[in-house]
Structure 1
Amino acid sequence: MAAIQQVAVVGGTHGNEFSGIYLIRHYQRHPELLQRQSFHAWTLFANPEAYRANKRYLDADLNRQFRREDLDNPALSNYEQSRAKVIDAVLGPKGNPKVDLVIDLHNTTSNMGPVLILTQAGDFYNQLAAYVKMKMPEAVISCDEDLLPAEDHKLLCTTGRYGVIVEVGPQPQSVLRQDVLEQMHSMTQHILDFADLYNRQALPALPSEVEAYRYLHSIKLPLNEQGERLGMVHSRVQDQDFKAIEPGEPIFKLFDGKELTYQGDTTVYPSFINEAAYYDNNLAMSLNEKITLAVPPVAGH
């Protein structure tokens, strides 16, 4: 078992998601909140220029620039693409990183609550999920393309040997909410505690399995042939992140009064419902399946 020696807590990957930015500033003023007995932790402000401009990004979404082949491509040189190469040099290089665990802090405008997003599969992640869920029962565990090879992942947190996203909402863009900030702080502290206990082989007994949601695909708002929106997310779905949608249930309400129903043949669980940042792509929500993660027993229990 390779120990976690270096941990990076990243805020401001998106410049208008304020909780992570203000939380890393708090940790910079109070570094004792980051440090644990068995590793060194530090903070990184990922996209300060987007923050100064009060935008999600300047040229491109920074959190989509971390595929290995893109990092190695000098032709990708706009601000965020260049910034990704700098971050990869600091945390990575991806594939042989200096940092063992990257914790990337995000906000969503969707009513998702505190969500731990796992980007890879494996015992470490499943034990982490079980520990966070045990300490924070309101937390939701989400698996985002966790079967994809790390080098093909576009997300910043995949630069580390391990990487997770703390995603908390609802919070409007460029706004702070006390409850959201406190939930983000709590989940981050639980992740840091887990890494320290993992290193010291001092984890408590964990449940043998943990409920999670695995991303399937995203669906778009209804559009006409000119790409203009014809309707909106149905009120019965709005704010109901991770609540079941059954085949045939309404998911969109058109401006002419008609309802559109879910045409799939299995139960799905939506997330990022009506996320403001995704309107540039007309994405209405992500759909997930409910899964169970098997948690390997902790040594000594």
Structure 2
Amino acid sequence: MVSINKVAIVGGTHGNEITGYYLLQKWQDSPELIQRPSLNTSTLLANPKAYEISRRYVDQDLNRQFARHNLEDPTLGGYEQNRAKVINQAIGPKGNPKSDLVIDLHTTTSNMGPTLLMPQSGEFYNKLAAYIKMQMPSVTIFRDEDHKSNDEHHLLATVGKYGVIVEVGPVPQAVLRHDVFQQTEQMVNTILDFAHLYNENNLPDLPRETEAFRFLQSLTLPLNEKGERIGMIHQSVQDSDFKALNPGDPLFQLFNGETITYAGDKTVYTAFVNEAAYYDKNLATSLMEKVVIINE
């Protein structure tokens, strides 16, 4: 069994998701809170300039810069592209990382509750998913494009040997909510507990099957031929993250009064519904399929 020794907790990857920033401050003041006997845990503020201006990013989305070919491309010189290279050297580098586990902290304006995103698959992740669900039944497990190789995955968490994203909402951008803060902190502590027990080969009996959701595709808001929005998420879908969307269900409400229904041929599930950060790309929601993770 591969042991987990060095853990990096990253906050502020997006400058207007401030829960992670304030948790880093708390842990820097009281580092014993995130230490475990078999772990060496450190913290990193990923995007200080974006935090200072209370924006998601300065030039580019930092959490889209960590594919290996981008990290190795010297012509990419935007602030976040350079910042990604610095972070990769600090807690990576990708492919030969110093960090055994990266925990990247995020919040969302969508009604997703506490969610654990896993961008890779394997025995470690299967056991982690089972442990998290056993300790925190309210957590949703989200398998995020885990079909991609680690080299091509663009998320910051993938620079470690293992990496996960803690995503909690709803909370407005640049706002603190007590419940979101607590849920984020509890999830991090539960992940650290798991890593220590994993090292000690002392995990409790875990359920063999864990329900999860796997990303399929993103849908865009309805646009006209000029690229202008002509509608919005239907009220029956709003705030319904991880709920079923059936063929024929209302999906979008146009400004002219027309309702557009979901035209797929099977039931799917929504996530990141009406996420404010995705409006620059006119994204409306992600669609998921329900899967079962087998812990063997």
For each residue in 1:103-122, what CA deviation from the matched residue of structure 2 results, as whole angstroms up to 9, or x when unmatched? 00000000000000001010
Separation in 2 of the partners of 1:66 and 1:141?
Answer: 22
Aligned-partner residue type, residue 250 of structure 1: P
Match of 1:77 in 2: 77
Shift of 1:134: 0.4
Mapping of residues 149-298 of structure 1, within 5 Å: 149-296=149-296
Match of 2:139 in 1: 139
Shift of 1:39: 1.3
Aligned-partner residue type, residue 51 of structure 1: Y
Shift of 1:188: 0.5
What is the total number of aligned residue pairs between the two structures? 296
Separation in 2 of the partners of 1:208 and 1:24?
Answer: 34
Say yes or no: does 1:48 pair with 2:39: no
Unpaired segments ≥5 residues, structure 1: 297-301
Say yes or no: does 1:148 pair with 2:148: yes
Aligned-partner residue type, residue 6 of structure 2: Q
Separation in 1 of the partners of 2:69 and 2:291?
Answer: 31
Describe the SS at the equivalent of 2:244.
coil
Task: Give the % identical residues.
Answer: 60
Describe the SS at the equivalent of 1:150.
coil
Aligned-partner residue type, residue 295 of structure 1: N
Separation in 2 of the partners of 1:57 and 1:80?
Answer: 7
Separation in 2 of the partners of 1:189 and 1:148?
Answer: 28
Shift of 1:2: 1.5
Describe the SS at the equivalent of 1:132.
helix
Match of 1:14 in 2: 14
Shift of 1:24: 1.1
Match of 2:29 in 1: 29
Aligned-partner residue type, residue 244 of structure 1: A
For each residue in 1:184-237, what CA deviation from the matched residue of structure 2 results, as whole angstroms up to 9, or x when unmatched? 000000000000000000100000010000000000000000000010000000
Shift of 1:152: 0.3
Match of 2:102 in 1: 102
Match of 1:299 in 2: none
Aligned-partner residue type, residue 70 of structure 1: N
Shift of 1:74: 0.2
RMSD value, Cα: 0.4
Separation in 1 of the partners of 2:32 and 2:143?
Answer: 30
Say yes or no: does 1:129 pair with 2:114: no
Separation in 2 of the partners of 1:70 and 1:153?
Answer: 10
Separation in 2 of the partners of 1:19 and 1:295?
Answer: 32
Shift of 1:42: 0.6
Aligned-partner residue type, residue 239 of structure 1: D
Aligned-partner residue type, residue 241 of structure 2: D
Separation in 1 of the partners of 2:157 and 2:123?
Answer: 18
Unpaired segments ≥5 residues, structure 2: none
Aligned-partner residue type, residue 135 of structure 1: Q
For each residue in 1:120-176, what CA deviation from the matched residue of structure 2 results, as whole angstroms up to 9, or x when unmatched? 010100100010000000000000001110000000000000000000000000000
Separation in 2 of the partners of 1:23 and 1:287?
Answer: 30
Separation in 1 of the partners of 2:189 and 2:266?
Answer: 36
Separation in 2 of the partners of 1:286 and 1:27?
Answer: 33
Separation in 1 of the partners of 2:103 and 2:133?
Answer: 17
Separation in 1 of the partners of 2:11 and 2:267?
Answer: 34
For each residue in 1:46-97, what CA deviation from the matched residue of structure 2 results, as whole angstroms up to 9, or x when unmatched? 0000000110000000000000000000000110000000000001110000
Separation in 1 of the partners of 2:24 and 2:267?
Answer: 38
Aligned-partner residue type, residue 228 of structure 2: E
Separation in 1 of the partners of 2:125 and 2:117?
Answer: 10
Aligned-partner residue type, residue 139 of structure 1: V
